[in-house]
């Protein structure tokens, strides 16, 4: 809603996961929106917040806040894209389950949180409506670090822009392709074939895929909640890949991280199309990147925007093919297929 207010021209091209229509106990429909004044917004919010005046006022204050939009690296970049060619996918909260549980005491393993508030992200992705490719992404991790003394959380914000020959992002990338420590992670991205690969996946991943991933990655296979957070682990170089074969991630989960990964030289591909190409020994003229402008044929509701066939997110183009070949070969049943 705040986005719609700031970018009026894009209004009809902004879509996302959550709905702003609520039904109260009396069966009345309430459409939550940003009103003309902070007071009006607070009053409206109070009706869907069990009359909690303090919470409604705090939320309205945040929604009406004037946000400083200046980012020096981006301020000098001029993009000439007609507004009608721009679409936006928003997930106001990803890893909802972790947000509701609110665990603050989970310990990270190799910098990766398997669950907890750190897995919550806010995802805003911009794509071109004609090609469907992502061009801009912002990820906010509201509960990134916690001050030991005050117990207050600090957020981390990541962004990336990838359009034509412009590729810039908020991460400090060293000449070798590794990310310099802005985020406390190390990464090594040198040669074409590495001795070992690391990956993150969902605990909902299927047995066969898990079996192959653990053969290829060994102890470097990690599990983490949140599609956005898993992508962030790839962006930060905490793992090389995020592999997921199920249809339960959506356009609003991937558009923002995809743009950031593209700006780093990586991307998010359609896993089933990639596997098909390996199976048929077909060489792609272009990698099968996820696109954000085409609904799934015959699907209704949220399923229209599912990433059917799964995904593989990567940060380094160099290692992708070698890793995917290994992953394919180690899949159970592959020997029977040939």
Q: Is 75 annotated in some ligand binding site?
A: no
Residues 180-209 within binding reach of ligand 2IP (CB under 6 A):
202-204
Output 92 or 132, the one with its CB closest to ligand 2IP: 92
By CB under 6 A, is residue 136 in contact with ligand 2IP? no
Residue reference for tokens 């908020």: 170
Output 56 or 243, the one with its CB closest to ligand 2IP: 243
Question: Given candidates 44, 60, 88, 95, which one binds ligand 2IP under the rule CB under 6 A?
Answer: 95
By CB under 6 A, is residue 96 in contact with ligand 2IP? yes
Output 131 or 206, the one with its CB closest to ligand 2IP: 206
By CB under 6 A, is residue 249 in contact with ligand 2IP? yes
3-state SS of the chain is: CHHHHHCHHHHHHEEECCCCEEECCCCCEEECCCCCCHHHHHHHHHHHCCCCHHHHHHHHHHHHCCCCCCCHHHHCCCCCCCHHHEEEEEEEEECHHHHHHCCCCCCCECCECCCCHHHCEEEEEEEECCCCCEEEEEEEEEEEEECCCCCCEEEEEEEEEEECCEEEECCCECCCCCECCCCCCCCCCCCCCCCCCCEEECCCCCHHHHHHHHHHHHHHEEECCCHHHHHHHHHCCCCCEEEECCCCCEHHHHHHHHHHHHHCCCEEEEHHHHHHHHHCCCCCCCCCECCCCCCCCCCCHHHHHECCCCEEEECCHHHHHHHHHHHHHCCCCHHHHC
By CB under 6 A, is residue 253 in contact with ligand 2IP? yes
Output 46 or 245, the one with its CB closest to ligand 2IP: 245
Q: Is 253 annotated in some ligand binding site?
A: yes
Q: What angle do CA 185, 188, 191 make, to 5 degrees?
A: 165
By CB under 6 A, is residue 114 in contact with ligand 2IP? no
By CB under 6 A, is residue 42 in contact with ligand 2IP? no
Query: Considering the complex, what minimum distance in angstroms separates the CB of residue 130 from ligand 2IP?
Result: 26
Question: Given candidates 16, 178, 226, 267, which one binds ligand 2IP under the rule CB under 6 A?
Answer: 226
By CB under 6 A, is residue 270 in contact with ligand 2IP? no
Query: Considering the complex, what minimum distance in angstroms separates the CB of residue 91 from Ca ion?
Result: 4
Query: Considering the complex, what minimum distance in angstroms separates the CB of residue 188 from ligand 2IP?
Result: 26
Q: Is 17 annotated in some ligand binding site?
A: yes
Query: Considering the complex, what minimum distance in angstroms separates the CB of residue 271 from ligand 2IP?
Result: 14
| Position with the least CB separation from ligand 2IP | 202
Output 99 or 153, the one with its CB closest to ligand 2IP: 99
Q: Count the site residues for ligand 2IP by CB under 6 A.
A: 15
Contact positions vs Ca ion (CB under 5 A): 17, 91, 93-94, 253
By CB under 6 A, is residue 89 in contact with ligand 2IP? no
Q: Is 205 annotated in some ligand binding site?
A: no
b/e map 236-268, b = 16+ CB within 10 Å: bbbbbbbbbbbbebbbbbbbbbbbbbbbbbbbb
**Quick check: 323 and 267 in contact, CB under 8 A?**
no
Cβ-proximal residues to 155 (8 Å cutoff; 6+ apart), any chain: 140, 141, 142, 143, 144
By CB under 6 A, is residue 240 in contact with ligand 2IP? no
Query: Considering the complex, what minimum distance in angstroms separates the CB of residue 108 from ligand 2IP?
Result: 16
Binding positions for Mg(2+): 17, 91, 93-94, 253
Footprint of ligand 2IP on this chain (CB under 6 A)?
Answer: 17, 91, 94-96, 202-204, 225-227, 248-250, 253
């Amino acid at each position: 809603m705040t986005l719609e207010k700031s970018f009026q021209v894009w209004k009809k091209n902004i879509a996302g996961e959550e709905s702003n229509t609520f039904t109260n106990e009396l069966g009345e429909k309430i459409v939550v929106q940003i009103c003309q004044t902070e007071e009006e917004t607070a009053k409206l919010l109070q009706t869907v917040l069990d009359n909690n005046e303090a919470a409604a006022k705090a939320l309205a204050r945040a929604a009406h806040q004037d946000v400083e939009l200046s980012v020096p690296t981006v301020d000098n970049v001029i993009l000439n894209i007609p507004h009608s060619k721009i679409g936006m996918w928003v997930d106001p909260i990803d890893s909802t389950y972790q947000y509701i549980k609110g665990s603050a005491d989970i310990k990270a393993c190799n910098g990766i949180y398997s669950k907890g508030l750190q897995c919550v992200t806010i995802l805003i992705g911009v794509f071109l409506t004609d090609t469907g490719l992502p061009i801009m992404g912002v990820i906010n991790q509201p509960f990134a670090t916690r001050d030991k003394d005050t117990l207050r959380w600090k957020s981390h914000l990541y962004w990336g822009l990838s359009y034509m020959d412009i590729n810039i992002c908020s991460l400090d990338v060293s000449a070798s392709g590794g990310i310099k420590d802005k985020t406390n992670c190390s990464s090594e991205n040198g040669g074409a074939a590495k001795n070992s690969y690391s990956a993150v996946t969902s605990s909902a991943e299927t047995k066969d895929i898990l079996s192959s991933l653990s053969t290829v990655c060994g102890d470097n296979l990690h599990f983490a909640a949140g599609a956005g957070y898993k992508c962030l682990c790839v962006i930060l170089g905490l793992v090389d890949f995020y592999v997921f074969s199920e249809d339960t991630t959506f356009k609003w989960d991937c558009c923002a991280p995809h743009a950031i990964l593209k700006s780093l030289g990586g991307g998010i591909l359609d896993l089933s199309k990639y596997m098909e190409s390996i199976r048929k020994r077909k060489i792609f003229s272009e990698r099968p990147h996820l696109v954000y402008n085409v609904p799934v044929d015959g699907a209704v509701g949220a399923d229209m925007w599912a990433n059917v066939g799964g995904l593989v997110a990567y940060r380094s183009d160099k290692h992708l093919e070698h890793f995917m070949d290994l992953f394919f070969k180690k899949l159970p049943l592959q020997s029977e297929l040939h």
